[in-house]
Amino acid sequence: MTMTLLLIFGVFLITLFLNIPIAMGLGIAGLTVVLVEDAVPLSFLIQTTFGSSDSFPLLAIPFFILAGEIMSTGGIARRLIDFVQNIVGSITGSLGLITIIASLIFAAISGSGAATVASIGAITIPYMLKNGYSKPYAASIAASAGTLGPIIPPSITFILYGVMASVSIGDMFIAGLIPGLLMATALVVINYIISKKEGFGGAKNVGEKISFWKSLNEAKWALLAPVIILGGIYGGIVTPTEAAVIAVVYSLIVSVFIYKEFKLNQLLDVFLRATTVSGTIMIFVSTASFFGKVLALKQIPQYIAGVIADFTTNPIIILLLINIFLLIVGAFMETVAAILLFVPLLLPIVLPLGIDPIHFGIIVCLNLALGLITPPLGLNIFIASNIARIRFEQSLKYFIPIFTTLLIVLLIVTFIPQVSLFLPNLLSK
């Protein structure tokens, strides 16, 4: 047992030092154990690779990525921002507020944090800078609004968690709504406090003011997208995978024929960007499943769970420890990798304590979403500081107040299960 444990994690760690991609490191470590211990035939590798990839729910991932890429190219983000700007007007911190609300709506179409920052931040960060917001703040607020991407459904991380934990992805999508809105509210509050202190206001010269109805009319196709996607899933009409393919076709039609900002010759580029992103995510699923199966074969998750159970069985302490652990993991590791690697290890610890797997999924995803704005590997901050043209470290000036605010939301979500479970329970009745 200890030998296998050392071997599998030792080899895995070495591959990471050798700059081998995490997905491949998992495969290599799993294969090493199979070769050394001769426990299962080698064809086991191909069987789990195929079995874990041959999944209808996972098919939603490339489609949601593709829909997000189309929407960030085709003028949908800009119309959303114009519309929100029209409603919010010019108040204290209004441009930060616009960034948060636009990210919230965009998150209800796209499945990832990075896509949200890249699409909304690319427009609102330069706009904030033009109107006297400091570079570090513009980058920080866009990056943290991007953490809504993986929490507000649809969400790629929810899909991966659902597949790994065998819970309904539709339920995960429903459960994420209130925690996501809570995060957005918390961000709105901290944005107001910081803007008030620093004197960040609204847009100085808006140019020609367009009417509310005109901006609504311009944005209606963009606003309809989350209604169709979430409405379809929440109403139990379509599966998440079908909703994802509808999102692709819908966003293509709107971008090409209605907004006319997407030329068909951009199609190859957009598809290839989506291919790159899903190529790095999907391979993970097969190697992480293989790794997880080898661990399970050797009863390692149960062993680790046993060690922790000897230490404490208090669910509050265990959840607190898991939160700290995941915050550290999220700071160093990519979200997808962290979910696929740690969910199979953590579930055997929490399930015997009576923690609901859906509630636990929201906790895990929220933790890792915070990792998107935590140094040293805060992907959202990388993207946002690149748009604002400052160095990564400079954009950390507001890290502590914003991080603390979101941390409070995380603790609320962790210790009040109803925040996550109220809606799924209500809808399943």
> Per CB under 8 A, does 311 bind another protein?
no
Shortest reach from residue 407's CB to another protein, in Å: 22
> Per CB under 8 A, does 45 bind another protein?
yes
> Per CB under 8 A, does 327 bind another protein?
no
> Per CB under 8 A, does 198 bind another protein?
no
Q: Is 88 within 8 Å of 136 (Cβ atoms)?
A: no
Of 39, 42, 324, 416, which lies in the binding site for another protein, with binding defined by CB under 8 A? 42
Q: Which of these ranges, 128-136, 196-204, 261-269, 393-401, lies near another protein under the rule CB under 8 A? A: 261-269
Residue count, binding to another protein (CB under 8 A): 67
Q: Map 38-103 to HEC letters.
A: CCCCCHHHHHHHHHHHCCCHHHHHHHHHHHHHHHHHCCHHHHHHHHHHHHHCCCCCHHHHHHHHHH
Q: Which is nearer to another protein, 147 or 215 (CB)?
A: 147
> Per CB under 8 A, does 257 bind another protein?
no
Nearest CA-CA partner of 28 in 47, 4, 9, 54: 9
Q: Is 374 within 8 Å of 327 (Cβ atoms)?
A: yes
> Per CB under 8 A, does 169 bind another protein?
no
User: Of 230-249, which residues contact another protein (CB under 8 A)?
Assistant: 237-238, 241-242, 245-246, 248-249
Residues 6 or more apart in contact with residue 354 via CB below 8 angstroms: 315
* 357: preceding bond cis by omega (within 30 degrees): no
Give, for 143, the enclosing helix (H) or strand (E).
Answer: helix 135-145
Nearest CA-CA partner of 32 in 52, 49, 16, 12: 12
> Per CB under 8 A, does 269 bind another protein?
yes
What is the DSSP track for 273-297?
A: HHHHHHHHHHHHHHHHHHHHHHHHH
Of 6, 16, 317, 328, which lies in the binding site for another protein, with binding defined by CB under 8 A? 16
Given the rule CB under 8 A, which residues bind another protein? 13, 15-24, 27-28, 31, 42-43, 45-47, 49-50, 53-56, 58-59, 62-63, 66, 114, 237-238, 241-242, 245-246, 248-249, 265, 268-269, 271-272, 274-280, 282-286, 332-334, 336-337, 376-377, 379, 382-383, 386
